[in-house]
Amino acid sequence: MTTEKNITLAIRKYLKSIGAKVYKLHGSGMGVNGAPDLLGAYAGRPLALEVKVPGKKLSPLQEKEIAALIEAGAIAARVESVEDVKNLLKGESNE
């Protein structure tokens, strides 16, 4: 069974392998509502990813936060696989 945790772990492993720095945000009373699951940087740009299992949609607040991050210049998106992340990052490498 594919879980959000397993998808997140695979994405973090992939991002580390390509030189990205990423942190997993954990939901808590101290967190920011709507903040993406993964925050970091890749190729000199901020990176923000909301990880979802296939078919699960973003909440309206998550949609708003992702849009605001993109507007501010971040690479930001809803992703459900390493392949989604690879496609998102195409053309972002400094190599």
Burial class of residue 71 (count of CB atoms within 10 Å of its CB; 0-12, 13-18, 19+)? exposed
Distance CA 93, CA 42 (A): 8
Distance CA 77, CA 70 (A): 8
What would the pLDDT profile of 46-64 be if each residue is shown by its tens digit?
999 999 999 999 999 999 9
pTM over 0.75: yes
What would the pLDDT profile of 3-56 be if each residue is shown by its tens digit?
999 999 999 999 999 999 999 987 666 667 889 999 999 999 999 999 999 999
